[in-house]
Structures are given as structure tokens and as C-alpha cells.
Amino acid sequence: MNYRHAFHAGNHADVFKHILLTRLITLFSRKEQPFAYLDSHAGLGLYDLQAGQAARTGEYLEGIGRLWPCEQVPEAAAGYLHLVRKLNPDGQLRYYPGSPELARRLARQQDRVLLNEKHPEDGRLLKENYQRDPRVTVHLGEGWHVPRALLPVAEKRAILLIDPPFEQVDDLTRCATAMKEAIARMRQTIVAIWYPIKDDVRPLRRFHQALTSTGAPKLLTVELLVHPRDTPQSLNGSGLAIANPPWGLEGELQQLMPWLVATLGQTGASWHMEWVIAENG
């Protein structure tokens, strides 16, 4: 396993994923009942954009680097940007929160954060980063085992992020299988799958078809493209497939996505949203 998320930290796909994750957790927190956040492929949790792998690629310049100077942002993006700015109190963009750090900062005292990372070095650093927070538990194992190993949770409410490295050709198939396992073990779980969009549309067509058989009561997909879908040899955009999206999310996306297209778009940017499984079947 060679993938290291630090190379891509803070890029346009990260920004899109993390804004939506922030909204999922925030909307979930409207009720007092505790919840568990689960992350199948957690990474480090916190990244230094001015050093090492992130500085080498500079991908963050086309992601969080574009949002950083924005003074007026949609309400749905404000909470995310506030958290990033709290990590950089001197006003200079350097540190970027991954999904574990966002979840930890948004979690309340009654909530739990359950993280899993397979990469041995990243897993060790992840454990070190969160060893002082009693709400956080770090597992070092195969991310695809998380649904069957950790669900159902005692809290009765859960958010599961599935964000694999997509090093293997069957990772999209595994994503759909993981969602199906999660829904079977705890039907009300919010399951969010992040996926890349490249020029070959055939794997995504098969993936979206597989999503219809996951057993999710309702399932929404939303995609942000910074390049046209058929641009060769490029990460043209990314999507999130969200089972059991909380009430209010769809309306927020109608306001948020045009702003993200305008802010992060590079050539022929666009967005798309679709109910793969409508609430009434």
C-alpha cells in the first residue's frame, strides 16, 4: 500500500468532501442524542501544507488555497472554513484538517470518533495525534472491515465515511459492498462514499448501478467537476454518494454547489445531483 493522502491534502476534492462532511456532522448534531463517527480510511488527520508531500505537489493551491481569501461564503461552507482558519490563527494558510480532525472538532462530549487506518506509518502517527482525546479510538486494520467490525454502535446513530485510496481497480465495487454491509448492520447509518471522477465513465456507471442494490432507504449523489468529465489524464472532479442524507442537506447543496463551481472550477466546471434511491422507493 503506497498511497499517502498528504500528497493531495487540501485539493479541490478534499475541499468538496470536507465541506459536505462538516454539514453532515453539523446537521446530525441538531439532536442531543449521541452519535458515533466512523472513518474507514482515515489518513493522518492533520496536514502541513508547507512541508513534505503536500508542499511538493502544491495541489492545495487549487483547493483550499482558492477558498482561503474568500470573505463572503455560503452558510453551508462557513463552518468548514472557520475550522480551517482556527488551525491557522496567524492568518497564513499552513495547516489543513483531514476528516478525522474535522470530526473530532465537531464532535460533542457525548459523541465518539472511531478511526481506522491501514498504512502502518500513517496509522502510528494517527494514534499519536489523538491519544489524549478520550472520545477518539484509532484502529489499525483493513478499512473494508470497518462496517462489519464496528457496526452497529451503542449510540444508535452513526456517520460512516468511506474514502479509500482507489489504488485497486475494484475499489468502487468494494465501496458499494461496504455500504450494503453498513446498511444491513445498522439501517439508519449515514454512509458517505467519496469517489474520483476521471475520463472513463464506465466504472462510475457500474458503481451507480451497484448503489441501487445497497438496501439504503434513500441515497443521494452529488458531484463537483472542475474540468469537463471527458478531460483525459486528469482528476476531473469527485463525488459523494450519501445514504440516509439528513433533512435539509439537499436544499443546502442547491445553494452551495454553484458557489463551489465558481470558486474551484478550472475549465468547464459543473455540478450534478441525483437521487439514486428516492425516499419513497
Distance between CA atoms of residues 54 and 64, nearest Å: 12
117 annotated ligand-binding residue: yes
What's the domain range around 158?
A: 5-275
163 is in an annotated binding site: yes
Beta-carbon contacts of 80 under 8 Å, excluding residues fewer than 6 positions away, are 18, 19, 22, 23, 102
Residue 44 in any domain: the answer is yes
In a domain, 95, yes or no: yes
Long-range contacts (CB closer than 8 Å, 24 or more residues apart) made by 121-127: 122/4, 122/5, 122/43, 122/44, 125/44, 126/42, 126/43, 126/44, 126/45, 126/100
| pLDDT tens digits for range 62-99 | 999 999 999 999 999 999 999 999 999 999 999 999 99
Residue 201: pLDDT band with limits 50, 70, 90: confident
pTM of the predicted protein model: 0.95
> pLDDT band at 51, cuts 50/70/90?
confident
pLDDT in tens, 160-195: 999 998 989 999 999 999 999 999 999 999 999 999
- Identify the pLDDT of residue 69: 96
**Is 142 flagged in the annotation as binding?**
yes
d(CA 137, CA 113): 6
Whether 281 maps to a domain, the answer reads no
Question: CA torsion angle for 101, 265, 3, 69 (degrees, to 10)?
Answer: -40
Q: Residue 146 corresponds to which cell in the numbers above? A: 470497518
Q: What's the CATH code of the domain at 208?
A: 3.40.50.150
Nearest to 156 by CA among 185, 114, 115: 185
Rounded to 10 degrees, the C-alpha dihedral 118/159/204/265 comes to -100
Residue 280 lies in a domain: no
Catalytic residue positions, numbered: 163
The DSSP symbol for 245 reads P
Domain count, the chain: 1
Q: Which residues of 157-186 are buried (b: 16+ CB within 10 A; e: fewer)?
A: bbbbbbbbbbeeeebbeebbbbbbbbbebb
- Contact predicate 196/238, CB 8 Å: yes
101 labeled part of a ligand binding site: no
- The answer to whether position 167 is within a domain reads yes
For the chain, state the CA radius of gyration: 17
**pLDDT tops 80 at residue 268:** yes
Tell me if 183 is assigned to some domain: yes
Full DSSP string of 107-125: --TT-EEEEE--SHHHHHH
Q: Is position 46 within any domain?
A: yes
